[in-house]
Structure 1
């Protein structure tokens, strides 16, 4: 009977100690919190893109109906669409990084940084071109 009690105590101590070590690993907690901060930053960027797209569409009210109204609508739609794609991609990226952190296999990648930078450069160029060529 003492063996059974001793084995049960060992099993419970193993369960507690593995849980405690998992909670006591500050590096893992910091990595998950950094991942969450990055995700929230991408969400703010996506909301900004969607909002900027809506504002761009609203610029139609300040110009003549003949010039540029179709271009304004398309540019606003593209900005809003890129914002929605950003939400989708950042959510997938968040869960992929979360899985990699848990598996101790995270390797930072550069393709999302390059892709998002090119998208912002392309859209920003379109907005700047539109603002400086539109006649108000």
Structure 2
């Protein structure tokens, strides 16, 4: 085995846990991206639901606000998760990574508040099953 091949082979063995850490960080980042896309998509769906309200029911004017908040939280998730990815990547490289529960708490609170908003919105919109749904 040549000297270069031996260095490459041993270097790969020494850093295998670091490689796993980087790959796990990337998987976590991609999961946050999926979450952000889902939040933004759900925001668009909420805004579009107003088109399915029967014409006899006056528009309450709050659905678009909830949809906008979902979309903004989705965008913030993109920005914060990207920042977090690079912070963790540098911490792994410097061997100074320490796990923290701060982001779990922040996003759990955000999703709890958004979920409460959806529940409030769903139960405050008048529902009349005898009316037919029409598109504008």
Deviations 1:47-96 (A, max 9, x none): 0000000000001111246232x200100000000000000000000000
Specify the alignment match of 1:26 in structure 2. 16
The structure 1 segments of at least 4 consecutive aligned residues displaced by more than 3 Å after TM superposition are: 19-22
Correspondence 1:1-136 to 2 at 5 A:
17=7, 20-24=9-13, 25-63=15-53, 64=55, 66-68=58-60, 70-136=61-127
Shift of 1:97: 0.1
Q: What is the TM-score of this pair, normalised by structure 1? A: 0.82
Structure 2: give runs of 5+ residues left out of the alignment. 128-136
Total equivalences in the alignment: 123
> What is the CA RMSD across the aligned residues, in angstroms?
2.0
CA contact (8 A) 2:26 2:85 kept: yes
